Structure 1
Amino acid sequence: MRRALVLLFVLLPTMAGAKAVLLAYGSLPGTHSDRAVATAKRLADGVPGNRFGGLGSALDYAGCDTFLALPDRGPNAVAWNRALDETTAYVNRVQTLRLTLAKAASDGRFPLQVQARLLKTTLLWSRERLRYGSGAGLHAASGVPPLNAQRHRFYFTGRSDGYDPAHASDWPGDARLDPESLRLAPDGRSFYLGDEYGPHLYRFDRASGRRLGIVNLPAALAVAHPAPTGAVETKRNARGRVGNHGLEGLAITPDGRTLIGAVQGALIQDGGAHGGFARLVRIDLVTGRMHSYAYPLQRVGGTDAKPRYAGISEIVAVNDHVMLVDERGGGGAGSGQPARIKRIYRIDLRGARAIDGLHGVRALAARAVHKHLFVDLVARLGRHGITPAQVPEKFEGLSFGRDVRVHGHWRHTLWVSTDNDFLPTPNRFLVVGFDDTDLPGLRRMPKPLRCRDVASRR
């Protein structure tokens, strides 16, 4: 009973929402190919290796209507090998998109429409040798990408057996990478990327895709005994992230000094699948100091003994202490269930009590941050005639874009992207409009512009 009261206290402030509005809802086809022609050969599951999909795992504005969009570990919605969690040797990459807003037709559901175009595909690789899976005992061929020999590089791939069993899951020599979060660095020439397998936090060169560096994360996030499937990993380990629930979100403060990583759900030592608190890790890039904070997750079902919770999909910085957190449960188009929890919350880390050295539901509940509803995407889309059964299942990317003028008034924009799991369904983008009263204190990192962004408000 005491635990239920603690959770209720933490979640009470979430009831009030802001007045943000939906400005646009657009898409890119999920059946097209990207610009990495050298990877076009079909993967082990039969899906083309350069299918233009999964864009919504992360999204970040780079200035001049240009965004970086991040696919995750590649196609794994088609069953071909359960021993590998259906993953393939898909070469990890980042897509550079041009996303603009134009006036919509007078009879449209939204005042603006999204116009989208792919500009560039950048493959991710390491100069240092990586450990790939041999496929032995897993009914699979070698996981080494053919591109390695052609270009004399070591490419990261999404295949789940690309790890060294002699090391914990955060070993930087592993070839496997499940990218789920990305933020542009202040120099504009590199970006930080968070992954679920390790979890890892790497820095990559934006132009070439080469790994430039490694940002250390708390050892408590890694599992000591990695495995080719998330379920086996979770069973084998008493500590660390749950399988396929790693560094799902990443924020960078406007001054470029601090990264905030968000774990998708509770760590194994914090209750695992039945734990109600995820960890936010704050990293000072100058000093290397790290502190962790507890984020309360929305309960979505289960029993009192085994409750189920939504998970964090993304986090974005409003300023150096206020964040927006994308939290979602299951359900949505293609899942067979209507969408319920697709919400963006506001939190403030100023004055929050760190949970360094603590673990377990009770310890985290006592120090959890408070959250306040910023926008309920299911409810907002419903006002535009989009039913819960039609709402995309996976809203996973958040990025502030440039301001736009709508009906004579300037609005800030928050872009939301979806992950289509590389299925032949559209990659979708949703644009939320808001003003300073909806989200006070907004500061954005200056972008090193190389174009004349004449339509932007200064």
Structure 2
Amino acid sequence: MMLRTTAPLLSVLALLSAGSALAAPAIIATASLGGSSAGADADLSGLPGTLENGVAANFLGGIGSGLAYAGNGTFLALPDRGPNATPFNPKIDDTVTFIPRFDTVSIDLTPAAAGAALPFTATATLKATTLLWSATALVYGTGEGLDVPNGAPAQNTADHFYFSGRSDGFDPAQNSCDPANARVDSEGIRVSNDGKSVFVSDEYGPFLYEFDRATGKRIRAFTLPARLCITKLSASKDVEIKGNDVGRVTNKGMEGLAITPDGKTLVGAMQDPLEQDGKDAATKKVLRLVRIDLASGATQEFAYKLTDGSGVSEIVAVNDHQFLVDERDGGGLGDGSEAKMKKLFLIDLDGATDVTALTGQALADAAVKKTEFLNVVAELGKIGVTPAQVPSKIEGLAFGPDVTKDGAAMHTLMIANDNDFLPKDSGPNVFYVVGFTDADLPGYVPQPIAN
């Protein structure tokens, strides 16, 4: 990817070299990750062999579906349900027995040399890959009638049952939120303040699970509002959508996840309006944010109205009541089109209406107010990334460490992409580092994470 310095960025560099405050949020570094010590395009799971579609079981891709800061320059990067962008079996939506996982990545930020295109250099290194599993038995697809073998991972043991990205891993007698379902399409990730737990949100259920960070063992399944779940499950997206008029839309579940800096609250963002909300003209662009109290599991819902984006991909906490929401279109690199709308909006849940019991116009009227914080397409344009080169799936957001250059201190926000496991078509796993100051985002409180 070619980078060029433009006038706005030059002004940022001038401010930095003069020891002044950063004038506005700006991209200060980029990094990519294309492999590990195990080889190019390989993660550190150690998984042998290939998946049903011939892709290596340890393929490193899609790791920007979710991104969480874990302290000391370390991030947890989350791939989704695995490599299914290349057609091979429409009966299961081209999904495979990819074991859900998170990758531990260090991102080293250092001041760049004088005259460099960007004020900092960033180096991303894969440190570990952790597979996600349950100590209790899970329901896998048998493969019967679907032209695939049984979906239980070969790595399963008597007390380790690994989750799977394959779409047929469910009990048809239960709703989509049954925690015994093996299928997981992980999309959001956050770390607990003690650094020991990882929270993951998903699209299939939607599910919200807590995992042991060290082992990948599931230690808690949160109960989400029943209105988010569907009752007629299928391995086929089209069949599932046609069969349900209540619940999440298939492949558009709990796409984003935030944890407040005090570590007491999670907020999950649905990607799209629920089936029942999307059918109402008043709420066809209104999706739900679900706030979960970690101690009790109690939930509240809030309404978010889309502006020009086709959905929400991420949410990250600014403090205990304000959040940045990633709203985007599907255009850009990987889609074969130009990106037009990828923006971060600031919202505040203080004083917002709990919409748990609301529908129709009342739900729409209760949508939270939002203000634009960052136009990602415009900012990438300032460093030479054209709309056609902007990754189509900007999905991972995480605040990172503070940095200093020539006496100028700033906070950082990491932005990552989901390349759908297609680096040749959708570009590499990339991280864009945005620098900002307290003046840009008043009230920002970093999450304290023990190490």
TM-score by length of structure 1 reads: 0.89
**Corresponding position: 1:343 with 2:352:** no
Which residue of the partner structure matches residue 195 of structure 1? 202
Question: Which residue, 177, 183, 186 being the options, matches 1:179?
Answer: 186
1:384-399 alignment runs, 5 A limit: 384-399=383-398
Which residue of the partner structure matches residue 352 of structure 2? 352
Letter matched to residue 372 of structure 1: T
When residues 206 and 273 of structure 1 are mapped into structure 2, their CA distance, relative to the original with a 3 A threshold, is farther
Question: Separation in 1 of the partners of 2:279 and 2:254?
Answer: 15
CA contact (8 A) 2:136 2:159 kept: no
Which residue of the partner structure matches residue 157 of structure 1? 164
> What does the per-residue CA deviation read over 1:272-307, in whole Å, with 9 as the maximum and x for residues that have no partner?
6982011000111223321101101123xxxxxxxx
Which residue of the partner structure matches residue 253 of structure 2? 246
When residues 240 and 23 of structure 1 are mapped into structure 2, their CA distance, relative to the original with a 3 A threshold, is same
Question: Shift of the alpha carbon at 1:240?
Answer: 0.2
**Corresponding position: 1:58 with 2:55:** no
When residues 272 and 161 of structure 1 are mapped into structure 2, their CA distance, relative to the original with a 3 A threshold, is farther
Question: Which residue, 130, 134, 159 being the options, matches 2:142?
Answer: 134
Which residue of the partner structure matches residue 318 of structure 2? 318
Question: Shift of the alpha carbon at 1:327?
Answer: 0.9
CA contact (8 A) 1:265 1:273 kept: no
Gaps of 5+ in 1: 1-17, 300-308, 450-458
Which residue of the partner structure matches residue 94 of structure 1? 102
CA contact (8 A) 2:300 2:356 kept: yes
Question: Shift of the alpha carbon at 1:408?
Answer: 2.7
Question: Separation in 2 of the partners of 1:202 and 1:394?
Answer: 23
Question: Separation in 2 of the partners of 1:92 and 1:349?
Answer: 31
Letter matched to residue 287 of structure 2: A
1:216-227 alignment runs, 5 A limit: 216-227=223-234
CA contact (8 A) 2:304 2:368 kept: yes
Letter matched to residue 357 of structure 2: G
Which residue of the partner structure matches residue 442 of structure 1? 444
Gaps of 5+ in 2: 1-22
Question: Separation in 2 of the partners of 1:42 and 1:400?
Answer: 35
Question: Which residue, 268, 276, 281 being the options, matches 2:275?
Answer: 268
Letter matched to residue 405 of structure 1: T
Which residue of the partner structure matches residue 76 of structure 2? 68
Letter matched to residue 25 of structure 2: A
Which residue of the partner structure matches residue 453 of structure 1? none
CA contact (8 A) 1:229 1:243 kept: no
Letter matched to residue 145 of structure 2: G
Question: Shift of the alpha carbon at 1:364?
Answer: 2.0
CA contact (8 A) 1:265 1:272 kept: no
Letter matched to residue 377 of structure 1: V
CA contact (8 A) 1:242 1:273 kept: no
Question: Which residue, 28, 34, 44 being the options, matches 1:35?
Answer: 44
Which residue of the partner structure matches residue 11 of structure 2? none
Question: Which residue, 297, 306, 312 being the options, matches 1:288?
Answer: 297
Question: Which residue, 166, 173, 176 being the options, matches 1:166?
Answer: 173
TM-score by length of structure 2 reads: 0.90
Question: Separation in 1 of the partners of 2:291 and 2:387?
Answer: 34
Question: Shift of the alpha carbon at 1:80?
Answer: 0.6
CA contact (8 A) 1:415 1:432 kept: yes
What secondary structure is seen at the aligned counterpart in 1 of 2:156? helix
What secondary structure is seen at the aligned counterpart in 1 of 2:372? strand
Letter matched to residue 59 of structure 1: L
What secondary structure is seen at the aligned counterpart in 2 of 1:148? coil
Question: Separation in 1 of the partners of 2:145 and 2:162?
Answer: 23
Question: Separation in 2 of the partners of 1:137 and 1:109?
Answer: 55
Which residue of the partner structure matches residue 131 of structure 2? 123
Question: Separation in 2 of the partners of 1:297 and 1:407?
Answer: 40
CA contact (8 A) 2:177 2:206 kept: yes
When residues 409 and 337 of structure 1 are mapped into structure 2, their CA distance, relative to the original with a 3 A threshold, is same
Question: Shift of the alpha carbon at 1:334?
Answer: 2.5
Which residue of the partner structure matches residue 420 of structure 1? 419
Question: Shift of the alpha carbon at 1:107?
Answer: 4.7
What secondary structure is seen at the aligned counterpart in 1 of 2:43? coil
> What does the per-residue CA deviation read over 1:185-226, in whole Å, with 9 as the maximum and x for residues that have no partner?
122111111010000000000011000011111111000111
Which residue of the partner structure matches residue 216 of structure 2? 209
Letter matched to residue 414 of structure 2: W
Question: Separation in 1 of the partners of 2:279 and 2:409?
Answer: 44
Question: Separation in 1 of the partners of 2:377 and 2:321?
Answer: 27
What secondary structure is seen at the aligned counterpart in 2 of 1:266? coil
Question: Shift of the alpha carbon at 1:109?
Answer: 3.1
When residues 160 and 272 of structure 1 are mapped into structure 2, their CA distance, relative to the original with a 3 A threshold, is farther
What secondary structure is seen at the aligned counterpart in 2 of 1:147? coil
CA contact (8 A) 2:252 2:270 kept: yes
Q: Alignment length, in residue pairs? A: 420
What secondary structure is seen at the aligned counterpart in 1 of 2:432? strand
Question: Shift of the alpha carbon at 1:141?
Answer: 1.1
**Corresponding position: 1:81 with 2:92:** no
Question: Separation in 1 of the partners of 2:298 and 2:156?
Answer: 36
When residues 443 and 272 of structure 1 are mapped into structure 2, their CA distance, relative to the original with a 3 A threshold, is farther
Which residue of the partner structure matches residue 403 of structure 1? 402
